[in-house]
Structure 1
Amino acid sequence: MIPLYINWSHDGSLLELGFYELRIYSILFGLGFVFGFLLLQRHFREDLLPEEKLEKLFVFVIIGTVIGARLGHCLFYEFDYYYNNPLEIFLPVRFAPEFEVTGFQGLASHGGAIGILVAVFIYSWKNKINTYWVLDKLALVVPLACGFIRLGNLFNSEMIGHPTTVPWAFVFRRIDSIPRHPGQLYEAVAYFSIFIFMNLYSKKVKKESGYLFGLFLVLACSARFFLEFFKIDQVGFESDLVLNMGQILSLPFIIAGIILMKKRGGVIMMV
């Protein structure tokens, strides 16, 4: 019997106006922030914190995410190119071989994570809010946003997997005609599952502030580390590495998460 592979040819565009293109990736990226904001409203109300502080937090988080993700891609994945073309880091254009308006192509999730951490530290210091508390609350919503982003990668036919013959293989027609693991979909399912688990777990066991964030780091980055084995390298130099860049960058976060869980693992209250 001939396997019924999934033919995927979506170009990722939702609306094309000539001078402007609205992409599904952008919509899903934005939805991650919208749903995160709505979900965190309840936590801020429960702790009697004004919504104004939540609004400020999301301004910090959005800025930290975009700047961190952009710098992370440029530094971790294409350092040589952007070292010679530094203006393209901050401008949505490409100057060589000819001038072209490209938008900001290239965002790295690990860079985004670092950007969020920096933003949260600054926000907590300025607003005199416990940093661990803020990180724990973000840990309950960030996996949902990560899942949306990976769905966006699927619509863009990027971060594709290795060739395979599994029945659920995708043929990314905009890339080639080879059945491949849908690496983006694997990650999306993993992050959505982590989102559900984190929220259920947080209602059952109350740990010291910081524990949930450590747990999130371990779960999310372990999933990323494992699932990278199903995906092709994003840039050429990774073929010379034992582990690819995504796996290398995940290891420090996993270690940090384990340390944080160990230090903040005291049970406050059982529900």
Structure 2
Amino acid sequence: MGLIGLIGLMGNMGQMGYILWNPSLSFGPFRWYSLCWLIGLMLAYFVVKRLYKEQKIKDELFDPLFFYCFIGILLGARLGHCIFYQPDYFLTSGKGLVEMFLPIHFLADGGWKFTGYEGLASHGGTLGLIIALWLYVKHTKLSIWRVLDNIAIATGTTACFIRLGNLMNSEIIGKVTDVPWAFIFERVDMMPRHPGQLYEAIAYAILFGLMWWLHKKMPQKIGTGWFFGFCLFYIFTFRFFIEYTKEIQEAFEASLPLDMGQILSIPFIVIGLVCMFRKQKTYL
């Protein structure tokens, strides 16, 4: 059963064939969003571990990698959302600054509640990951290009499951449409909308399959930065165009010629192209 079929079975078919979407936010004691993040990171962990083994990189050099990646992605994604999408809230008060770093929300009566991190941005997560990997190679003395290429090969797995988590949360919804596969996000409204999260999840699953095939065909390019560049170019080019099917996330974006997701994608597309077409040399 394909990914679309699996997701379709989890909803109910509404009028005109649209999918009525209102799944539970939790699976037992776990929130779907957190569970999808965990699955995505663990899959990437095993993929990169396999790559390190293929390249005969010592186990002790692999062991700290997951810690660096987890902290870098989470911190970068959180700061990216707060700074790029809601600076008027998080950067203008002491309570906002605290909520930026702690998964809580202050209540009007002076109390607070645990909310988890409500707002993570993929562009910030990518930047945070790159910084974390730079710190990792400073510690391990491995080539930054080899590490970036290995992470890039595994990236599609994590990106796919993060977007599935967004789908389960009925967030980052698409624009109203009449396509026959439209989703009606019942927690949002009763309008048929593009399942933009599902489009991205499928694209990133394809990316992983493509990257795994390419690394088998072109093992000599691992360590040149080519895989890292291709990963950035693929993800953020797709992200740029898929934004045309998605609703803006914050009101201020309505006055911009491009939405924030598109604006932030452009530098990553350029960096990807530079990494792919620069004069390449393998750094062991």
2:46 paired residue among 27, 30, 38: 38
User: Is the Cα–Cα contact under 8 Å of residues 70 and 107 in structure 1 kept in the other structure?
Assistant: yes
Aligned partner of 1:101 in structure 2 is: 114
Q: Could you list the per-position Cα deviations for residues 190-210 of structure 1 after superposition, in whole angstroms to 9, with x for gaps in the alignment?
A: 111111111111221232610
Q: Could you list the per-position Cα deviations for residues 225-271 of structure 1 after superposition, in whole angstroms to 9, with x for gaps in the alignment?
A: 11111000011111111111111111000000111111145799xxx
1:79 paired residue among 51, 75, 87: 87
Distance, in Å, in 2 between the alignment partners of 1:29 and 1:233 is: 23
Is 1:180 matched with 2:193? Answer: yes
Q: Which runs of 4+ in 1 moved over 2 A?
A: 96-101, 205-208, 264-268
Aligned partner of 2:4 in structure 1 is: none
Distance, in Å, in 2 between the alignment partners of 1:222 and 1:104 is: 27
Give the TM-score of the pair, scaled to structure 2: 0.88
1:53 paired residue among 61, 77, 84: 61
User: Is the Cα–Cα contact under 8 Å of residues 224 and 282 in structure 2 kept in the other structure?
Assistant: no
The range that moved more, 258-267 or 135-144, is 258-267
Aligned partner of 1:155 in structure 2 is: 168
Is 1:89 matched with 2:100? Answer: yes
User: Is the Cα–Cα contact under 8 Å of residues 49 and 62 in structure 2 kept in the other structure?
Assistant: yes
Aligned partner of 1:247 in structure 2 is: 262
Task: Write the letter of the residue equivalent to 2:99.
Answer: E
Matches for 1:164-175 after TM superposition, within 5 Å: 164-175=177-188
Distance, in Å, in 2 between the alignment partners of 1:141 and 1:267 is: 19
Give the TM-score of the pair, scaled to structure 1: 0.93
Matches for 1:200-211 after TM superposition, within 5 Å: 200-205=213-218, 206-207=220-221, 209-211=224-226
Q: Could you list the per-position Cα deviations for residues 124-178 of structure 1 after superposition, in whole angstroms to 9, with x for gaps in the alignment?
A: 1111000000000000111110000000000000001000011100000011000
For structure 1, the 5+ residue unaligned runs are 17-21
C-alpha deviation, 1:50, in angstroms:
2.2
Structure 2 residue matching 1:171: 3-state secondary structure: strand
Among the aligned pairs, what percent are the same residue? Answer: 42
Over aligned residue pairs, what C-alpha RMSD do you find?
A: 1.6
User: Is the Cα–Cα contact under 8 Å of residues 211 and 264 in structure 1 kept in the other structure?
Assistant: no
Structure 1 residue matching 2:27: 3-state secondary structure: strand
Matches for 1:112-123 after TM superposition, within 5 Å: 112-123=125-136
C-alpha deviation, 1:97, in angstroms:
3.0
User: Is the Cα–Cα contact under 8 Å of residues 224 and 281 in structure 2 kept in the other structure?
Assistant: no
Q: When the two structures are aligned, how many residues end up with a matched partner?
A: 262
**Distance change (3 Å), C-alpha of 1:88 and 1:267:** closer
**Distance change (3 Å), C-alpha of 1:175 and 1:250:** same
User: Is the Cα–Cα contact under 8 Å of residues 61 and 119 in structure 1 kept in the other structure?
Assistant: yes
